[in-house]
Structure 1
Amino acid sequence: MVARSSPRAVVADDSHFMRSVISDILSGGGIDVVAQAKNGREAVEAVREHEPDVVTMDVEMPEMDGIEAVERIMAEHPTPILMLSAHTDEDADVTFEALEKGAVDFFTKPGGEVSMEMSRLKDQLVEIVLSVAEAEPRSRGPSTTGAAGQRPTPSKAVGDTYVERPTLIVGSSTGGPTVVERLMSNLPAAASLRVLIVQHMPDGFTGRFAQRLNDRSEYDVSEARDGQRIGAGEALVAAGGKHMEVVNYTHGRLRVALTEDPPVNSVRPAVDVTMRTAASVVDDDVIGVILTGMGEDGADGIQALKAGGAKTIAQDEASSAVFGMPKRAIETGCIDTVSPVAAIPQAILDAITQEVH
């Protein structure tokens, strides 16, 4: 298929003002807005008629909301979708549901004086729309999460055991939330991992994300707090808008610090910050994993981890919504294993399994 010179977009929002503002921003960023829709039903029809490269989808709309529209589009004409979500707990829950239905990523609508705030955020919006437009849309099958007894049992040979006090560091961005959920839901508590998760996500959403992971995994997952310590069977999600540094490691327990230092790789939290600080502090086994996402965050961190003897894993291109971060990590030459998303939990367990003689 011949690549288009610029992506074609459908903008769906129940506010005429917001449709105009978003369309103007996208057009100014070189994105061709081929249609606007004031509700989910019109969005589904616009996708059917115009076959766009990307859809920006409001969460709350009359007649048919964004969730149902995402489900219909992914069933009938799979298309990369970016959710536009208000900064509220209710919208955060609905946004994660949209990601489960097949949306690629989300962008937080600003509060206050919308026109001024959207103008300030216009470069970020254009960048994320361009990234989502490159994603491979996938209809979602049945969820892989559920009760602990229903999770697949990873293989482990008789006579094998897990290394003591392993630490897992996971970095992801565009397309990452559902992949991280799938990963965490398939890690057994018996592995006794300490898990640090850095998902590019704004403040107000990381707490809800942590709660979802806690509900769907055998690990105790929480949003990171400054100075917090974790041990085996516990996991932290980097708080939106703050870097998560590993500052201490004693007797199998990690302590983290949250900072508002300048963004790294244009993001905060940054995967590189967590991985680099872990590499300098943790002296037991470490596994670094880079999942789907745009940009190059994590590439330097993976090199630091590898230099310290860590095992490293990257998601493969075929299963990545956006192959930017894994690709850059692989290009460093410091990735041990490249795996499809379904095989990453087993790859992690293989990395911490040792034969007992």
Structure 2
Amino acid sequence: MRGLISDVLRDGGVEVVAEAGDGDEAVRAVEDRRPDVVTMDVEMPGTDGIEAVERIMATRPTPILMLSAHTEAGADVTFEALDKGAVDFFAKPGGEVSTGVAQLKDELVEKVVTVSAASVDRTTATPTAVASAEPTDATLVVGSSTGGPNAIERVLAALPREASLRILVVQHMPEAFTARFASRLDERCAYDVREAGDGDRIGGGEALVAHGGSHMEVSHAADGRLRVRLVAETLGLTVQPAVDVTMRSAAEAIDGPLVGVVLTGMGSDGAAGAEAIHRAGGRVVAQDEASSVVYGMPKRAVETGCVDEVCRLDEVAARALAAARALSRDEGRGRTASPNRGGE
């Protein structure tokens, strides 16, 4: 399996400087060879991948990409590895390295190259919980990719339930992982969080996580509640779920206060969504470069000129809530429809 992964990476132009058969060897290899990036499996003899990640991040912080089984059990240990400091993960098709990695070699190489450039010395200040607030009647759409699970968790954990936001979360993540991600968020924040199902509705104090492998569109908004639909078609996009799809549909369907948040991640997803929210009279907050694991998505959103605030991760919740309050004060709506609304 190590040989196959090494061959795939070499064929993609990545220099493989060492291989390791267990966690202890991995820790020593990182110390001796000082690689730009590590691919790490979870289940290994002796020291497993979780402990190896923790030791590497404590002694020589290095970007780590986890190779994870495409199962719910694989999701549990993968999130544990992310908690310990791993940057991202690659879901092995069918849970087996040998049967599927070669078929997805381009994706694996892209992940490795992206993770190699990730910042492991980023700002780690814990967001301060925002003070209790009156209901805002606002919708918050949060999108991210690489480095996003921990970033989203930190933002949601800082938001007060009293604000009664309706929250839509879009994280680039495969199907087997999004239900577990929603459960983790539900456990760690004051909002009621669940994975989105087709036709699901939410009101204030609730959040939906986009289902892996499907786009999440806002299909209807009325009486303080939203309804979503899941779209199985790719819509010509390279990621699914896509932040742009949810943000654009939210700008189309929602008349009340709307705030978009673009967090750490590779690529440009979220930039078109930020433009749609801006044109519809909403506000957009983006994470800054210093606190981002990968400053791709926030950077591209900022480049549109449609981002109202750029701030550290520990400030995102407060800035987003302040934007929601400001919009709510404007005659309870705070938004003006654009002549091009819905036409993107």
TM-score by length of 1: 0.88
Residue 92 (structure 1) aligned with residue 75 (structure 2): yes
Give the deviation of 1:120 after TM superposition.
Answer: 1.2
Paired residue type of 1:312: V
2-structure distance, mates of 1:102, 1:263: 33
Consecutive unaligned residues of structure 1, counting only runs of 5 or more, are 1-17, 145-150
Which residue of structure 1 aligns with residue 334 of structure 2? Answer: none
Paired residue type of 1:121: L
Give the deviation of 1:348 after TM superposition.
Answer: 1.1
In structure 2, do the counterparts of structure 1 residues 298 and 141 end up closer, same or farther at CA, with 3 Å as the change threshold? Answer: closer
> What does the per-residue CA deviation read over 1:153-187, in whole Å, with 9 as the maximum and x for residues that have no partner?
4257xxx8553x10000000000000101111110
Aligned mate of 2:179, from 198, 204, 207: 207
Give the deviation of 1:224 after TM superposition.
Answer: 0.2
Give the deviation of 1:140 after TM superposition.
Answer: 9.6
Which residue of structure 2 aligns with residue 11 of structure 1? Answer: none
Which residue of structure 1 aligns with residue 340 of structure 2? Answer: none
Pairs within 5 Å for 1:74-85: 74-85=57-68
Residue 273 (structure 1) aligned with residue 229 (structure 2): no
2-structure distance, mates of 1:162, 1:333: 29
2-structure distance, mates of 1:112, 1:48: 29
Which residue of structure 2 aligns with residue 23 of structure 1? Answer: 6
Q: Note if contact 2:124-2:291 (Cα within 8 Å) is conserved in structure 1.
A: no
Residue 181 (structure 1) aligned with residue 153 (structure 2): yes
Pairs within 5 Å for 1:42-121: 42-111=25-94, 114-121=97-104
Give the deviation of 1:141 after TM superposition.
Answer: 6.6
TM-score by length of 2: 0.91
SS of residue in 1 equivalent to 2:322: helix
In structure 2, do the counterparts of structure 1 residues 328 and 264 end up closer, same or farther at CA, with 3 Å as the change threshold? Answer: farther
In structure 2, do the counterparts of structure 1 residues 74 and 261 end up closer, same or farther at CA, with 3 Å as the change threshold? Answer: same
Which residue of structure 2 aligns with residue 307 of structure 1? Answer: 279
Which residue of structure 1 aligns with residue 257 of structure 2? Answer: 285
Paired residue type of 2:229: A
Residue 168 (structure 1) aligned with residue 151 (structure 2): no
Q: Note if contact 2:262-2:287 (Cα within 8 Å) is conserved in structure 1.
A: yes
Which residue of structure 2 aligns with residue 154 of structure 1? Answer: 130
- What's the RMSD between the two structures over aligned residues? 1.9
Q: Note if contact 2:129-2:157 (Cα within 8 Å) is conserved in structure 1.
A: no
Which residue of structure 1 aligns with residue 341 of structure 2? Answer: none
Aligned mate of 1:222, from 194, 200, 203: 194
Q: Note if contact 1:74-1:138 (Cα within 8 Å) is conserved in structure 2.
A: no
Paired residue type of 1:154: V
Q: Note if contact 1:265-1:296 (Cα within 8 Å) is conserved in structure 2.
A: no
Give the deviation of 1:138 after TM superposition.
Answer: 3.8
SS of residue in 2 equivalent to 1:22: helix
2-structure distance, mates of 1:117, 1:274: 30
In structure 2, do the counterparts of structure 1 residues 238 and 264 end up closer, same or farther at CA, with 3 Å as the change threshold? Answer: farther
SS of residue in 2 equivalent to 1:47: helix
Consecutive unaligned residues of structure 2, counting only runs of 5 or more, are 331-344
Q: Note if contact 1:294-1:323 (Cα within 8 Å) is conserved in structure 2.
A: yes
Identity of aligned residues (%): 58
What stretches of structure 1 move > 6 A for 4+ residues in a row? Answer: 139-142
In structure 2, do the counterparts of structure 1 residues 263 and 52 end up closer, same or farther at CA, with 3 Å as the change threshold? Answer: farther
> What does the per-residue CA deviation read over 1:203-250, in whole Å, with 9 as the maximum and x for residues that have no partner?
110000000000001000000000000000000000100000100001
